[in-house]
Amino acid sequence: MKRKLLGNMSLALLLAASVTVLSGCGGSKEGSGSGTSGSTGGASAGAAQSVEQAGEGMGEKITLRYSFWGSTNEKDAITKSCEAFMEQNPDIEVELIHIPADYEAKLSAMIAGGEEPDLANLKDFFAVPLAESGKLYNIFDLMDQDEEIDREDYLQFAYRYFTPDKAYGLNTAGELFAMFYNKELFEAAGVPGLPDSIEEALTMDEFIQLAKQLTLDGAGRNAADPAFDPSDIVQYGLMFDFGAQQYMGAVYSNEGSYVNDDGTKWTLNEGPAVEALQTISDLVNVHHVAPNPAELKALPSLAVALQTNKAAMIWAGAWVALDLGLGETEFDVGVLPVFKKGVYATCPAQGTAGIFASTKHPEETFRLWKWMMDPKNSIDLFASGLWMPILADYYTDEALLNTWATVQPAHPSGYIGSHVDVVLADGVKANPSSYVKNYTEINALVTPALESAFLGNESVKEALDRIAPDVEKLLSGRYDR
């Protein structure tokens, strides 16, 4: 990590040098710019800044606007972190914009009205078009001009690219998916806890047998019992959402893919991917160890289901550790099952902090961005189980690791093996939403097709082949190659 500091004006001049002037005016609050359009290629090719604009207000208090979604707990932690930032940076006022629901729709309205924030947490599908149209900074332009940080300081999978060499930001956290479980229900079933190392991961066949033993009907019979009644399930062995963040981990573990290497051919309907997806469908419709998408909607959230004995295991994102830690249920976490021994894969969560090109204060906004990317400035978010760091040192330096990954009650004994070691083993693989062009339009076809299969209406192969001609028309390459 670089250590020599760069003066505010010098960095402001460097920032301004990396952009060109765009037209636009706005009636927005100080610190937010107008809704502008620019040439493609990110803010390095088009941002509404000049040297004078970047340097104006030096020594004066300015306001930055930062938008994000999340729970009340997350809002409180981010508020606390930004209050500390303002204490360290008395020239800056941070106005927080918490949007807990309909985030993209409300942020779109803000952008359309020229009221976009300076800094925003963004999901892949929403951020990539903004970056392509020049509305977000290429974060490498800012990082490479900074004397405190290097690209290599951060987990490499956390970068979000919109061309092979340009990124609009970093994940706000390094979260991944794992298998959380209710220890009391495991003990009641007389089965051992889940393995917490990749090397000992259960095969999918082993996992299915375990899930059967943990699935109970109203008479107390498990799903391995010939007399089991699948119409009267009171405890599922497994619950999970049916999104790409979950199922792509299984696809990658079976050495399948979403598209080919150059993004010109759809491969989700081919052998390895179909086998993985059909296995997920069979968990519901053949083995009866998990609810289907319709049944899932009538059940509580994954964390609550685990806490109320409605599910023995949940295939969930790391952030559920916060809610589980706040509850009374004794829980632990293990690695996901694998299709092939030695091939482990899980996917990261979406959520990237991006800097809008229209900000009137790029240097100060980048200062806030760096602050939010550094776990020490919001350690409560990490120690509570909500987030995982993106600074690599927090996985390899024992003192830093102990500031979050061993903190109870959100980090049980299996956490290091199922989360930290998975990161270090390069087991986190990209969501297709981060690299497939036109993903939003493609996913609009894939999601209902897979839901039909997961509901038992047709096989996965039938469902995906049915939409393949329409998907193929939308393919236009990859952002990362």
CATH code at position 148: 3.40.190.10
Coil, helix or strand for 293? helix
pLDDT of residue 59: 58
Average pLDDT over residues 36-41: 33
Confirm whether 481 is domain-assigned. Answer: no
- Are both 247 and 296 inside the same structural domain? yes
Average pLDDT over residues 452-474: 98
- Are both 334 and 364 inside the same structural domain? no
The pLDDT of residue 478 is above 50: yes
Q: What's the chain's average pLDDT?
A: 89
pLDDT of residue 35: 32
The rounded percent of the chain whose pLDDT value lies above 90 is 82
Q: How confident is the model at residue 1 (pLDDT cuts 50, 70, 90)?
A: low
401, 430, 463: which is the final residue of a domain? Answer: 401
- Are both 343 and 354 inside the same structural domain? no
- Are both 30 and 101 inside the same structural domain? yes
- Are both 122 and 181 inside the same structural domain? no
The pLDDT of residue 32 is above 50: no
- Are both 142 and 234 inside the same structural domain? no
- Are both 29 and 59 inside the same structural domain? yes
The pLDDT of residue 47 is above 60: no
Q: pTM to 2 decimals?
A: 0.85
pLDDT tens for each residue of 220-246: 999 999 999 999 999 999 999 999 989
The pLDDT of residue 16 is above 90: no
pLDDT tens for each residue of 124-151: 989 999 999 999 999 999 999 999 999 9
- Are both 124 and 68 inside the same structural domain? yes
336, 370, 401: which is the final residue of a domain? Answer: 401
401, 423, 443: which is the final residue of a domain? Answer: 401
Average pLDDT over residues 99-109: 97
Confirm whether 479 is domain-assigned. Answer: no
Look at the block and give the residue holding tokens 């956490």. 415
Average pLDDT over residues 79-91: 95
How far is CA 308 from each of CA 190, 222, 274, 300, 383, rounded to the nearest angstrom? 19, 18, 33, 9, 24
pLDDT of residue 19: 30
- Are both 247 and 196 inside the same structural domain? yes
- Are both 152 and 51 inside the same structural domain? yes
Confirm whether 433 is domain-assigned. Answer: yes
Confirm whether 468 is domain-assigned. Answer: yes
Count Cα atoms within 13 angstroms, Cβ side, for 464.
18
Confirm whether 1 is domain-assigned. Answer: no
The pLDDT of residue 42 is above 50: no
pLDDT of residue 71: 82
- The distance from CA 281 to its chain's CA centroid, rounded to whole angstroms, is 24
**Strand 92-98 with 62-68, pairing:** parallel
Confirm whether 406 is domain-assigned. Answer: no
Question: Closest Cα to residue 283, out of 271, 296, 265, 272?
Answer: 296
67 CB-near residues (< 8 Å, 6+ apart): 96, 97, 98, 99, 103, 107, 110, 117, 119, 120, 121
CA distance 320 to 203: 24
pLDDT tens for each residue of 377-416: 989 889 999 999 999 999 999 999 999 999 999 999 999 9
**Which residues form the domain of 164?**
8-174+350-401
The DSSP element (H or E) to which 68 belongs, if any, is strand 62-68
**Per-residue buried b or exposed e for 440-458, using 16+ beta carbons within 10 Å of the residue's own CB:** eebbebbeebbebbbbeee
Confirm whether 480 is domain-assigned. Answer: no
Count Cα atoms within 13 angstroms, Cβ side, for 77.
22
Task: Please give the tally of structural domains in the chain.
Answer: 2
- Are both 13 and 83 inside the same structural domain? yes
Phi, psi of 180 (to 5 degrees): -85, 145
Other residues' Cβ atoms within 10 Å of the Cβ of residue 111: 19
Confirm whether 303 is domain-assigned. Answer: yes
- Are both 115 and 252 inside the same structural domain? no
